[in-house]
Amino acid sequence: DDQTPDLTSLPVLGEQLKKLDSHISEKGLPQAAKDDFEKHGVTINPEYADDSTKEALENDPVLLIATHAQLTNVIGIAGALPPQREDIFILGNSLYLGLGENAVKHLIPVYGVANHKIGRNLRSWLWRKTGFERPPSSWLNAARANLDSLRIAEQKVNEGGLVVIFPDRSRDKDDSWFIGVGE
């Protein structure tokens, strides 16, 4: 939508995102992510406990639950997925709707993710101050949109797809899940 920031317009990073988006169009999400890591000297070589895990990731409906600290972890996990799969979807921050049209085909957006604790970290504060992370119009609207996104994720799995979610654990002492995907 017109409120989605175009991350490809960012200085320096924008050109890299455009190249990655074009590569996704040519090679698919997993291979583009893997190639992006390899051009930076990092090889992604997934190992599986057994053949059934590899076969499931290649062919079956899958809900893959992973944790991450940075966007690079998300890209790394995408690069470890079977390259022949085109039905890979990532339940992720709506901020990334501005990554480019080919990347966005794999995104199921979650709204209000970093705003559940305003000022939680410097990155979130900077994104909000630059306009690249807007608070939802209301928490109720964000919750409704997120329920729709969870239904879409469920539908993709039911249709045989592979959906990756990244629930964000709380940094609080009670170690509870944040409201949203984790919950």
Which tens digit of pLDDT belongs to each residue from 139-165?
A: 778 888 888 999 999 999 999 999 999
**pLDDT over 80 (residue 2):** no
Instruction: Answer for the pair 97, 59: CB distance below 8 angstroms, yes or no.
Output: no
- The model's pLDDT over 59-107, given as tens digits with 9 standing for 90+, comes to 999 999 887 666 778 888 999 999 999 999 999 888 788 888 999 999 9
- The model's pLDDT over 18-52, given as tens digits with 9 standing for 90+, comes to 998 999 999 999 999 999 899 889 999 999 889 99
pTM: 0.80
* Residues whose CB falls within 8 Å of the CB of residue 93, separated by 6 or more in sequence, listed in order: 109, 110, 113, 114
Residue 172 pLDDT: 55
Buried b (16+ CB within 10 A) or exposed e, 63-74: ebeeebeeeeeb
